[in-house]
Structure 1
Amino acid sequence: MQYIRLGSSDLNVSRICMGCMGFGDPTKGQHSWTLGETESREIIRHGLEQGINFYDTAIAYQLGSSERYVGRALREMAKRDEVVVATKFLPRTAQQLADGVSGRRAITLSLDQSLHNLGMDYIDLYICHIWDYNTPVLEIMEALHHAIRAGKVRAIGISNCHAWQLAKANALAEREGLTPFVSVQSHYNLIMREDERELFGLCAEDNIALTPYSALASGRLSRPGEIQTRRAQEDDYAKGKYDKTAHQDQIIINCVAELAGQYQVSMTEVSLAWLLTKVSAPVVGATKRHHVDGAVKAVDLQLNDDEILYLEECYQPHALSGIMAQNTPQTKDQTQVWTR
């Protein structure tokens, strides 16, 4: 495993971040395909054994049970200062808005609940899950800065935002003497590269780490044919992100399969090896041991410039999809948006 400093923070993270959305009580929340606690622990243990020290979850995942599973496993299997735990908070709910709960109060309540779920005294990377159009960004930055000053959070990040939003938030933080976002978690992979237009330039200029989700396009970049998993059958959100562009994306998927055959490695390794040339640490979901193995092996696979060009040259522009397609000022009840 290789390790990297996460943007301008003092967090030292593995080049692979284990995405923990697949962990959580399958009888709770939106997904029935998630792993129970025993199976989740096995995957987390294997990740630790392979050198992964970076784990990403969210309070939204299966009604907090993902946080609880991840927290219990890491507390028992690793030293706290040897792992980097990331979790996320949501915008204020419609009910909180109606009840007059302030943005700062909502973040404090969510943070304290996440700390309780994780069974930890602090969170290494606390991430705004989606831009909150109903709360002034300065109020959010002040609340997060206060959490850092209180010792509850080490660094902050943001997910599912446009480049202008990240630039605005960090400019306000600089002006007001507050803590800036050090990372951004966006939807980016070989068949969804729209963030290269503006977000990548901003992050390179300001040393903001890129930790994209959907690194394998919900499995599409890890196998050549139709996906037959339970998640593929039931996850309408993932279908909505990729089904409309399936024909043009298949050309790139075929290129991944061809290179994998030449190297005699998995498509996962090729897809992630390409991604690792672009970002700090992709968030890779894992519900089987071989998912972990493929991600870890990708760190050592070096693609040459011609191979990188071969994988990229057939890409065509995509419309925004998933959360980002819904991330607009018109979204009032953002509890309906975060289904990733």
Structure 2
Amino acid sequence: MRVGVLTGGRDCPGLNAVVRAVVRKGVQEYGYEFVGFVDGWRGPLEGDTVPLDIPAVRGTLPQGGTILGTSRTHPLDEEDGVRRIRDNLDKLRVDALITIGGRDTLGTAARLADEHGLPCVAVPKTIDNDLSGTDRTLGFDTAVNVATGAIDRLHTTAESHKRVLVVEVMGGDAGWIAVHSGLAGGANVVLIPEQPFDIDQVCAWVTSRFRASYSPIVVVGDGARPRGGAPVLTHVPSAASGRVRLSGVGEWLAGQIEQRTGKEARTTVLGHLQRGGSPSPFDRWLATRFGLHAVDAVRDGDFGKMVALRGTDIVRVPIAEATARIKTVDPALYEEIGVFFG
């Protein structure tokens, strides 16, 4: 059997560890051949490949990014996209395709599998942790570690200068990174997209913190918005992608806090620091297990499925089910951490 592998969407730590595990087990235990498709869905769309064997993946376990490259190509937007992919898979003698990605990449895999019969197996990756069907997505743990480390460092400068520090983290429409890093880093306010915030309440928490002779840290997800308002954006949809890039709420929030409380406020936008660099030990463990189970699904002919973490077990769920909705922060969980606000 010859198996294709691709990584699509935005990069995240642990992608290479998945590819490594897929190739190692597939070659050593099943005698499979592998081909790497370059730059996400662009690879099968254009037939662009690189050799993928055990020497190619050696030493990649701790390596960030993706040795296969990635892109946000959407083959279903192409008039003849499905035909081109099918023709290229046939030409390259590829019998199955392992797709590693987030909601967009796996949403495409679900449609190709369910509507067009292409033999796809999926692996969930996104630092946002917003894929339903799995307890954790690849890359999330590393992003939380990076954000928590930054918050730890910012506490000392906040206290030294008696100022408010606002930390903007990624997450899109889900506040998982904000909740986890904010709680772990001892933030005094955590704001998430799922719960529109009252700016007067935020300023009251900030003022309360100063009364206790401490300088507050405010963690805000980049998709958070004030009550009754729209997301604060510094990037509008581009003509090329049509996608909105969220960023700007941290700077806006710092300005509002300074104006309303009279306290100096500064913003740190962590941005791509959260998705770059070497994966955490947990993400290496998770990526490796995902890869091992993904190649098992190929062996079993169990296509149209995504490997997922449930507790400590790796299970298989329909890709379409896992991408049908965004997994957001439970209001009860957010309420639980509210005792630390202010």
Pick the TM interval, shorter chain: 0.3 to 0.5
**Higher share of residues assigned strand:** 2
- Ranked by relative contact order (alpha carbons within 8 Å, sequence separation 6 or more), the top structure is 2
